[in-house]
Every structure is written in structure tokens, then in C-alpha cells.
Homo-oligomer: A and B are copies of this chain.
Amino acid sequence: MTIAGENTEKSILIAAREVFIAKGFEGARMQEIADHAGINKALLHYYFRSKEKLFEAVFSEVASNLFPAMKQMLEADLQFKEKITMFIRIYLKALEENPFIPAFILNTLNTNPDSFLKYIKKAGLNPKLLQKQIDDEVARGIIRAIKAEHLMVNIIAMCIFPFAARPIVQNIFDMNNDEYQTYLESRQTEIVDFVLKSITV
């Protein structure tokens, strides 16, 4: 592939990412993606062969970026509470940089529940590591007993929701955009506090 070809392929992926995230697979139009990329529509098929394969390329990139923070947390050699705090910080930072990813992922999951299986397996997460650390902390009387499945889901849910459901949250609490940004910025402290206060003995 030539340099020009690589640039074209990159342009397509960038444009496709934007349009698929905004419109979902079904709502995205190949012509729209081509327009965003500033290319002729036929090139989409030359480089990616079909809409599905293009979507898969975009989804693969997004999905592959989902688990490093989680894996890092599970495997980090840190004090438990430090680990939780680190995870929340890293996760929220990633969400701030890609605020539309949760909706994109959840949308794709809804129509294609198996879309994630291979990425989860590839990520090699081991939640048992967290359960072991929880058990150690419980034995030392530092935190109360809680299952890893619940703790992790609670944390991730609280991180993601204000991004995924932004219009609802924003309107229920009658916040303008600046106020919502401030709210998002306070989420890290609030979530860390909420979690640590809940589990600390």
C-alpha cells in the first residue's frame, strides 16, 4: 500500500468512527462516511469491501481500548483503596476523552450481543484477582465483604451513566452545559468517596 493509500484508509476510519458513533450501524450511510472523509464512495468498498467490515474495523478499535484500564486495575500491585481510586480516575479520564463511546458500545451490544465476546476473551481479564484482594482486605478488617461482580459493576455503572444518559440527567437536574461539565468534573471525587465509604469498615 502506498502512502496515499494509507492516508485514504485512515481518513475513512476516522470518518467512519464519527458517523457510526453518531448514527449507529444501521443509521450510518456510506455516502455520508465518504463525504466526511472527503473521498469517493467507491473507495469505501475498495479499502474495506463492505459496510459491515468497515464497521467491524471501527468497532474493533473502540472495543480493544475498553479493557486496558480494567486489566491494569485488576493486576496492579497497589493497596486496594489506591487501586479503586486509580481505576476510577483512569476510567473517567478515558470517558471524558471519548464521551460517546458508552452509548456506541451499548447500542451495538443491543443489536448484536455477541459483538464483544472475542474482545473480552482477548483482554484476558481475571476478576478473581480482585475477589482475592477483596477477601484479603476483609480478612484484615479493612473493608466489608462484597463480591467483585457487584463492586466492579457498581463502579463502572457510576462512571459511565452520566455520559451515556447525559441528556436525561442534564434535564432532570436542569443543568446547562457548563453546569454539566462541572458536574462531570466532580464525579471522580464523588464516586471514589461513595465507593470507599460504602466498603470501608
A interface, CB within 8 angstroms of B = 22-27, 100, 103-107, 109-111, 113-117, 120-121, 125, 127, 144, 146-150, 152-154, 156-158, 160-162, 164-169, 171-173, 183, 186-187, 190-191, 193-195, 197-199
18 A-B residue pairings within 8 Å (CB atoms): A24-B26, A103-B110, A105-B168, A106-B164, A107-B110, A109-B165, A109-B167, A114-B167, A117-B167, A120-B168, A146-B190, A149-B169, A150-B186, A150-B187, A153-B158, A156-B161, A157-B157, A160-B161
A187 to B194, CA, bound (A): 17
Contact status B198-A195, CB under 8 Å? yes
Residues of B within 8 A of A150 (CB): 186-187, 190, 194
Partner of A194, one of B115, B154, B193: B154
Residues of B within 8 A of A147 (CB): 190
| Consensus secondary structure, chain A interface | helix
Q: What's the least CB distance linking A122 to chain B, in Å?
A: 12
Q: How many copies altogether?
A: 2
Given contacts A103-B109, A172-B125, A198-B197, contact A153 B149 (CB under 8 A): no
A168 to B154, CA, bound (A): 14
Partner of A153, one of B117, B121, B144, B162: B162
Partner of A106, one of B25, B120, B165, B193: B165
- 10 closest cross-chain pairs (CB), A and B: A157-B161, A198-B198, A26-B27, A26-B26, A103-B110, A157-B157, A113-B167, A150-B190, A197-B198, A120-B171
Residues of B within 8 A of A193 (CB): 198
A151 to B113, CA, bound (A): 30
A23-B26, A157-B162 are known; give 5 further A-B pairs, CB within 8 A: A22-B110, A106-B106, A107-B107, A117-B171, A153-B161
Q: What's the least CB distance linking A13 to chain B, in Å?
A: 20
